[in-house]
Amino acid sequence: MADDFYIDINRASWDERAPAHAASPDYAFDKFVADPQFLSEVVRFDLPLLGDVGGMRGVHLQCHIGTDTISLARLGATMTGLDFSGAAIAEARRLSATCGTAVEFVEADVYDAAAVLAPGTFDLVFTGIGALCWLPDVRRWAEVVAELLRPGGRLFIREGHPVLWSIDERQTDRLVIGYPYFERAEPLVEDAPGTYVTTDVEFTHNTTHSWNHGLGEIVTAVLSAGMQMTGLIEHDSVPWEALPGQMEQIELGEWRVADRPWRLPHSYTLQAAKGR
């Protein structure tokens, strides 16, 4: 089987979901248009750890429909967003044009990012919130990140925690580890008709291939690619209802397990810098 057998399957799912996501109140396109200061909840959550991005040249990998990318641009960064879904990039460009915040959006596979963007020039690589799970090889991803960064440039990722990804969401009465924690060559193949935002749209492309990557594997990939870790914080919340029926919504659109949330790392923020 070709290495990239999963790409067309996953892209069909994202291409179909992008317009529904753009129309969903959860992505708040109307608020971005109505208020030039409006920022996504994800970026508002990230701000205390992210700090001042003003004047930075940043790239948002797997930017989806661009709401976080536009938020970073509104904070003063010169942003490029990259995603392999043409439909997601079209929605991102439409939002950028209608809300008046300039961002360059590029359609490409994340593993090709250093080939299609200017390598060694970015002050900031920003990514996460349902990004790494679509990639079969976390080491290859970290090499791309390191290639994109200028010496001294920063990686900022907040992502679903690999322990959370390993929980079987179909078991709603307790937390059960049912999926791989470590990266495996074989994908997790799922057929899921829905999506993670509020929508009435019914989808037809529902098969996805995904992979988990253990926290140690992610850290080792970052270090092996020539970056130095500058922070690793685990959070007790995640910005989508990852375990339906077991979670409650808290502030800033975050969700956490309602029963003893301290049992579970829900997401993490990893920061690293490329050596000078």
Ligand X SMILES: C[S@@+](CC[C@H](N)C(=O)[O-])C[C@H]1O[C@@H](n2cnc3c(N)ncnc32)[C@H](O)[C@@H]1O
Nearer to ligand X, 190 or 259 (CB): 190
User: What residues numbered 7-36 form the site for ligand X, per CB under 6 A?
Assistant: 10, 14
Least spacing, CB of residue 14 vs ligand X, in Å:
4
Our finding on whether 68 is near ligand X (CB under 6 A) is yes
b/e 50-86 (16+ beta carbons within 10 angstroms → b): beebeebbbbbbbbbbbbbbbbbbbbebbbbbbbbbe
Least spacing, CB of residue 74 vs ligand X, in Å:
15
- Position 201: which residue type? V
Of 28-36, 78-86, 94-102, 183-191, the segment contacting ligand X by CB under 6 A is: 78-86
Least spacing, CB of residue 24 vs ligand X, in Å:
11
Q: How many CB atoms lie within 10 A of CB 183?
A: 19
Are 138 and 213 within 8 A, CB to CB?
yes
- The footprint of ligand X on this chain (CB under 6 A) covers a number of residues equal to 16
Our finding on whether 208 is near ligand X (CB under 6 A) is no
Q: How many CB atoms lie within 10 A of CB 178?
A: 11
Of 79-87, 165-173, 183-191, 216-224, the segment contacting ligand X by CB under 6 A is: 79-87
The correct pick among 85, 195, 208, 267 for binding ligand X (CB under 6 A) is: 85
DSSP string, 122-190: EEEEEEESS-GGG-S-HHHHHHHHHHHEEEEEEEEEEEE-HHHHTB-TT--SS--B-S-SS--SS-EEE
Nearer to ligand X, 109 or 236 (CB): 109
Look at strands 149-160 and 122-128 and give their pairing. Answer: parallel
Least spacing, CB of residue 13 vs ligand X, in Å:
8
User: What residues numbered 158-177 form the site for ligand X, per CB under 6 A?
Assistant: none
Look at strands 104-107 and 78-83 and give their pairing. Answer: parallel
**Site track 120-139 with ligand X (rule: CB under 6 A), x = hit:** ---------xxx--x-----
The residues binding ligand X (CB under 6 A) are 10, 14, 62, 64, 67-68, 83-85, 88, 109-110, 129-131, 134
